Amino acid sequence: MAAIIEVIDLIKHFPGVKAVDGLSFAIPAGSCFGLLGPNGAGKTTTIELLEGILTPDSGQILFHGAPRGADYRSRIGIQFQHTALQDFLTVRDTL
């Protein structure tokens, strides 16, 4: 089955920290995928790179076999780890 997301040699460094250092994996369509690791392993950074919140220093993120395009964010679903959105919405807005 073709990969829906493919990560190839992903690298993201912050001052004094190698947050993601050469990560590669592929997620086949229809699969359930999780990132596991200890604190500081780069899980959150990897997810933020996949979401397009952060820009990789190098490497590739492919969506359906091609680089992410302008419509990428509208085609994926993002559930943020922390949000304050509910503080600004009424029950009616939420429904």
For the chain, which residues score pLDDT lower than 70? 81, 83, 85
pTM across the whole model: 0.80
Q: For residue 43, what pLDDT is reported?
A: 94
Q: For residue 39, what pLDDT is reported?
A: 93
Structure tokens of 56?
């990789």
Distance CA 15, CA 31 (A): 35
Q: What is the dihedral of CA 51, 33, 38, 14, to 10 degrees?
A: -20
pLDDT tens-digit series, residues 41-57: 999 999 999 988 899 99
DSSP letters for 15-30: TTEEEEEEEEEEEETT
CATH number listed for the domain at residues 3-94:
3.40.50.300
Q: For residue 76, what pLDDT is reported?
A: 84
* Domain residue limits, the chain: 3-94
